[in-house]
Chains A and B, each alone.
Chain A
Amino acid sequence: MTQIGNEYIEHYPKWREDLPGKDLAWLAEIRAEAFERFTECGLPTRKTEAWKYTNLAPLTKDIFAPKVSAAVRNLTVVPAHAPNETAAHRIIFVNGRLEADDSAINALPKGVRLITLGEALEKEPALVANYLAASNKPEEPALFEMNTALMTEGAVLMLEPEIELETPVHLFFLTTDEAAQSAMHLRNLIVAGKGSTATIFETYLGTGKTEYWTNVVTEVVIDEDAHLRHYKLQNEGEAAYHIAMTVAKIGDRATYDSFALSLGSILSRNEIQAFLDGSGIDCRLNGVNLARGHQHMDTTTVIDHAKPGSNCNETYRGVVDNHAETVFQGKIIVRQNSQKTSAHQLNRNLLLSDEAQAKTKPELRIHADDVQCSHGATISELDEQALFYLRSRGIAEDVARSLLTEAFVVEMIDEIEIASIREAMRHSMVSWLSEMTGM
């Protein structure tokens, strides 16, 4: 057997002793079952179709032990990077642990709970018991199972029915060199009750140059008529591994609006499994990947239309410079009874160097006959005519290249409805563009 990741299986009994909530029988059972399933398959290899283009072998070179000890508070690091808008609710984790002093979680309106997973397991396990690992299993669950077996911290946001939370909730994960060679198995849980409205902004930021591994699972439950905007900025450290899976279960007439900007990590995967478990759903999955150097950036989505009459629209754009590589895998499933489904997918890639690579794999499995579905994928270079046009007006070549690259992605960012989040994303994009070398 050529299973990889056996080191993690061997160490698990020892690690288990330090995990939160180890006195909870139901949790121990969930963890044990998940661990057993992980043991059966190990970490995914490229022989698995869903991982054909992304190689996790670097995670087995040296073992990444779970980060369980309390973070050493570093006053100079946190304020410099933490979101500082007084208007936002925020929960800040440094190296996988809550930074209570910099978080702002108390001013929430009635009907909204924002608490860490660790605290919930310790003080209010009933709050999360029905939701953890209760969502639909992803198609290739190995890392999900590993996360369930090892989850230590994360944010739990719960909205009671009909609650409209106008202020965005920031989930901020900062990793420093103190977390070198360790793994953060983060678990977020977001439950939007019937008819509720909320905006989540997940940020992953790494300040160091050392290797670490963020393995995050975000479980999202959107009840009927609820509206969730879910933004994510992945700007992990330059040697980091970021493997993220969002599993969303969406009910009748609900909307899920997801946008992810990825520009960090040496190897990353942003996977979204959207289970459209109702009719009249409007699901939007969008994102921008900016890759350079030797980065590998994977976006994988699975949208499962389980009921008739729902819509999904997904657009991902990637810019790939130097020797970097991006992957897009977009699966859309329309089940036999899911008539009147509308599903549209577009993946566009811009290559800025001869060595850059973009791999794109649309996969539509349509079993119903009365549907509107489309998909498109493009891989192109900067338009030479446009480049010359700009230069002929006096704009220097590097500026012209950066301007055209910005034009390729900026309209995606312009669509972000929340101004403060749009500006944060734009800021990250502009700073990436300013470091463009290309050529």
Chain B
Amino acid sequence: MPSLLEIKNLHATVEGREILCGVTLSIEAGEVHAVMGPNGSGKSTLAHVLAGRPGYEVTKGKVWFRGKNLLDMAPEIRACEGVFLGLQYPVEIPGVSNMYFLKAALNALRANRDEPELDAVEFLNVAREKAELLGIGETLLQRGVNVGFSGGEKKRNEIFQMALLNPALAVLDETDSGLDIDALKIVANGINALRLPKHAVLLITHYKRLLEYVVPDKVHVLSGGRIVETGGKELAFELEKKGYATFDDKETPTIATGASTQGARTHSE
């Protein structure tokens, strides 16, 4: 049985600059992984490449999702296959109501699974139940997508969308940043609710704070566009104490020469 997600030697460029320089990582169903790393290490790029964002060009490597070639799929196909990206900066879309947007999204996913479309009433019942868990009020549902939402509301809205779309793999890009402790707990509960045998979560974060509430099975350190260390949850605590400097020092020469996976202390495989 293949891994839920298998990334092999992934290289990617943004505007001609190589950001990912050989990422290798696999996630099994039922697991929660965290990717940590300093600013500019390629964490967000990894998340966007997995979601298929235009402008993020894969130059080398493979990504298999449930045994299928993920990189061949358009972003909407990836979503239908079960990949979800929680954005660090959720986009405001005036003129499209949150409800309308999510109904269109959920029905697109359902159509892909040959399930009947939900009508407005059926959708509202499902949405209300999930919204309540995340403390999302009726007015936020009726408003334009993320329009006038506070930073915390935007992040909760991302987790609300995740709960509704119920993805096999949720990639959450710094969903914890800018949250106060109450919002963080709500978001953590939302993520923990997705800890199911057939699902997996990839948390991308700077800080271990979220990992106190969502305890990961594995922690990876991304630096200079490559995974330079993989460990258990204790690695997050170690990083919090020592910082990323030790990894940066090690990586600087290899990044400069553009060499591939030499120099990493351990690999995820």
Contacts and interface: CB of A to CB of B under 8 A. Distances in A.
A257 interface: no
Given A384-B54, A390-B101, A391-B76, A407 B85 contact: no
Given A388-B53, A394-B80, A394-B109, A399 B93 contact: no
B95 A395 contact: no
Contact of A386 (B53, B54, B91, B112): B91
A394 B91 contact: no
Interface string A369-387: 0000000000000011110
Interface string B92-129: 01111000011011101100100000000000000000
B91 A408 contact: no
B75 interface: yes
Contacts of A396: 76, 108
Given A395-B105, A396-B76, A403-B104, A410 B95 contact: yes
Nearest to A408: B95
A392 interface: yes
A404 B104 CA distance: 13
Given A407-B93, A407-B95, A407-B96, A393 B54 contact: no
Contact of B105 (A384, A394, A404, A407): A394
- Is the interface on chain A under 10, 10 to 19, 20 to 34, or 35 or more residues? 20 to 34
Interface string A184-213: 000000000000000000000000000000
A383 B54 CA distance: 13
A389 interface: yes
B75 A392 contact: yes
A408 B144 CA distance: 12
A411 interface: yes
A394 B95 contact: no
Contacts of B102: 393
B175 interface: no
A389 B98 CA distance: 12
A437 B105 CA distance: 21
Contacts of B96: 403-404, 406-407
B133 interface: no
Contacts of A391: 52, 74-76, 79
A384 B91 CA distance: 10
A7 interface: no
Interface centre among A386, A399, A411 (most CB of B within 10 A): A386
A385 B89 CA distance: 10
A150 to B, nearest CB: 43
B161 interface: yes
B255 interface: no
A415 interface: no
Contacts of B104: 395, 399, 403
- In the A-B complex, the 6 residue pairs with the closest CB atoms: A407-B95, A394-B79, A393-B105, A394-B108, A391-B75, A389-B91
Given A392-B87, A394-B79, A403-B104, 13 more contacts: A388-B75, A391-B52, A392-B76, A392-B84, A393-B76, A393-B84, A393-B105, A394-B106, A394-B108, A395-B104, A404-B93, A406-B96, A407-B96
